[in-house]
Structure 1
């Protein structure tokens, strides 16, 4: 078994055309880096450690008893090497520092991943999240010792209800898909409470991929609703399918084509008339925050990705968070517990004291209540911007996306550009590429230009889709530089430049065998035996 996962291999040494030599794979100050197991030595260590049995004996026994203790611990001594790499402190620090330089991050440049909202995370948020009383609390502490944390949760909940125009909010879901499940469980409870269990959830083609997956996980049969030529939900097709077996419609708005659903109110009215509920995927809330209140559109439940709209992009600070806002009709079925102020104290209300507003709750989503690190960052972001600032967040995000869309007119095919402006993300296709080149080739070439690729092959309604979301935190100068790089690569793809097939050339790693890596991943290190090494 190779030490590198499927397809993940060091740079192939190159032979110079002018000198009879083989390069090492190093590029300028970017050094080729082996795995820590490959560079470590069992006899090396950054510190000197006293034998465990001797330390235990000295700390708990008189000197005369050491022999007895020593012989008693002999059976516990390790009989084989532990298999951990040994390195000096400089070797270890340099190893991880060099690895960090091979990673792309939002602090290095634009992260144009469509549908992901990878924007700058203000450092103020990080400072607040690390404050004592937030960073070091434990979920099992007595409630009277975490009053400040509960106040943060309650204040953030109030903001989320205000910004969405909804009736209540459940703060416990840990991420977007977890929030989707929370919403569907509340919908199921509401239907069962009126003696009307239903079996089908309708999901438009332009919805996020987690929507049908979550509905299936919740035990529903999923059926698709087609999109129109303009990339929106086909309202007439939706109305034709609605019936007594439909529990809910899961709709993403703005949708995954980067477009707002102008028929949203009509969709909600039709769904409610059929006795079903409307679930909205709020992953793209960054495009409408401060501008549109989902509650005014007839939404019954919607999750909000705090790690998208309210800072801390994916991987930028730990786990995500997906609070779910509910309409008045679904609020009684929301999960427990919830935070409530009673007099001068905040309480974490459990089932036995839920009262009339949560008397029909479907129960708990998780053992503990939400993500404190995400709550503090999100509230810091909201208070820093205020209502007017959040409105500008949406306006600038939409402006930047449309700037990218129009700057690439005539360079990349934009399948829905003719239907008007986009929202938070610009959608392109591989139409016009020559010589068998694909979206994947363009994306790999962007790496050589110093950019993380955009989201590829999603949404599925567009062949060779490329979804670009610049967010509001990118400057015009930064966007111009990205657009210039994208134009250059796109022109090469349209000209059939076969050198794109070799990209990336200048990255720490060459193009992976992605099929092998997905089907036969190697997730643990295994030292090569003599026979394997010979192969």
Structure 2
């Protein structure tokens, strides 16, 4: 028997049998569809004078000096009772997608399940209630936890030191490049160029440019990896280093990484590795053994903290022996008696004289550190190795299950790593990656990463992570197979998908260029 997906479609059905071809159900008077309610804006729900709390009139005069700040008219805030407010936000939450509802197959994002134990530990009073301006003597336990995490990161990567303060991936990239710049300037070697392969993360060239470098691309080979000959040919006295993503954004391991590092070092440059895909090799490969000088680690990816919507994030940067003296402050220093001290600017000249300075106001993201350390201690070294193995196994299961219905440009090159890459080639006339992604919403899934990496036309990058079961992957694979077959059959309903979501397909170009983000009452566009 064939599995029936969320829309009632079976692979053996012809396109005319798909439910979307049936007559649409009659619209309801309210606009609601079962438990999927048509929710107005909170301003539209408000009633004049409505409120969930009654306040007595405030007696007395305005304090001297504050009269000029007195409001001339009431704030135009929505007035709702408490049940109206609670119901509004509860109904909105039902229109959202979350990792607790299903997989986030976003390639390059590692959106895995976050164990609840992590959250419990992060909410312990000694972690959740501390303040960055407390005296160091009152946060010894927090510093010890940070140091324990730092020790694990150094051990897992085979590096010499780690800067904990960077707040996320791109912030970590900047930290690593500033370390490289400081190291080169210390030896009187002002270089201007950073080489970035086509298969690197999109933030890499932006970070290099922000750090003041001129960016030059290195092409990829036909099998999706760095063109070693082209890279070697470009190395010279003006090249400060290379920013390389390994495993790369095509989901492939850079097999020539050690050779690349040796060539860059021989030319006087340094090597930055983007660690966003560390989940594929954690416990299996130590970047330090491959000649890496600096690499950020996305704690919110590899070590399971949920992320999205701009946060939370944390991007510690591990450093080689060559770059450790130039790392940022603050950092924790561990004494032989077990006492930890936070090295700040006033003490850095004696203990960290070559630091390039400060990356952030404070030491880092305590909640992220606590979750990541809990995750690491829960798994141990052997468990982390299995994390990588299971993530790679799941991605290859997806790749091989779909390569007969979706173009997989690098499938012939061998197994992938933690993510499977497909393209919209062979989908049929006029059918695109966007149609597959929007159709996947109708199937009850969050879409995969689309149109990235740019080296593949109409890219679809699927990263299942290790926390998805085979049964869950089979559901996702079944839906993707169905969508690919419908596209090849010319099913035009995909061009207007999604049909079963709270909102139909948007004009994404206009949404990006002319967003309406402010409520203006009757004048709202």
TM-score class normalised by the smaller sequence:
over 0.9
Q: State how 1:228-247 maps to structure 2 within 5 Å.
A: 228-247=221-240
1:297-336 CA deviation, whole Å, 9 max, x = no partner?
Answer: 0000000000000011323995200000000000000001
Cα separation, partners in 2 of 1:198 and 1:180, compared to 1, 3 Å: same
Matched residue pairs, number?
Answer: 503
Contact 1:332 1:357 in 2 (8 A): no
Q: Which whole-Å CA distance do the structure 2 matches of 1:69 and 1:453 have between them? A: 55
Q: Which whole-Å CA distance do the structure 1 matches of 2:175 and 2:520 have between them? A: 40
1:133 is paired with a residue of what secondary structure? helix
Q: Does 1:251 align with 2:244?
A: yes
Q: Residue 131 of structure 1 is aligned with which of 124, 133, 140?
A: 124
Q: Residue 507 of structure 2 is aligned with which of 502, 507, 513?
A: 513
Q: State how 1:58-457 maps to structure 2 within 5 Å.
A: 78-315=71-308, 318-342=311-335, 343-354=337-348, 358-457=352-451
1:156-188 CA deviation, whole Å, 9 max, x = no partner?
Answer: 000000000000000000000000000000000
Partner in structure 1 of residue 458 of structure 2? 464
TM-score w.r.t. the length of structure 1 is: 0.91
Q: Does 1:42 align with 2:48?
A: yes
Shift of 1:122: 0.3
Cα separation, partners in 2 of 1:149 and 1:75, compared to 1, 3 Å: closer
Q: Does 1:482 align with 2:444?
A: no
1:503-535 CA deviation, whole Å, 9 max, x = no partner?
Answer: 000000111110001111122211124xx78xx
Cα separation, partners in 2 of 1:226 and 1:71, compared to 1, 3 Å: closer
**Cα RMSD, aligned residues only:** 2.1
2:241 is paired with a residue of what secondary structure? strand
Contact 1:331 1:358 in 2 (8 A): no
Shift of 1:495: 1.5
Structure 2 alignment gaps of length 5 or more: 1-21
Q: Which whole-Å CA distance do the structure 2 matches of 1:80 and 1:317 have between them? A: 34
Contact 1:118 1:471 in 2 (8 A): yes
Cα separation, partners in 2 of 1:79 and 1:491, compared to 1, 3 Å: same
Cα separation, partners in 2 of 1:41 and 1:406, compared to 1, 3 Å: same
Q: Which whole-Å CA distance do the structure 1 matches of 2:29 and 2:207 have between them? A: 49
Q: Which whole-Å CA distance do the structure 2 matches of 1:169 and 1:398 have between them? A: 27
Contact 1:176 1:322 in 2 (8 A): yes
Q: Residue 28 of structure 1 is aligned with which of 15, 24, 34?
A: 34
Contact 1:110 1:452 in 2 (8 A): yes
Contact 2:406 2:427 in 1 (8 A): no
Shift of 1:470: 0.1
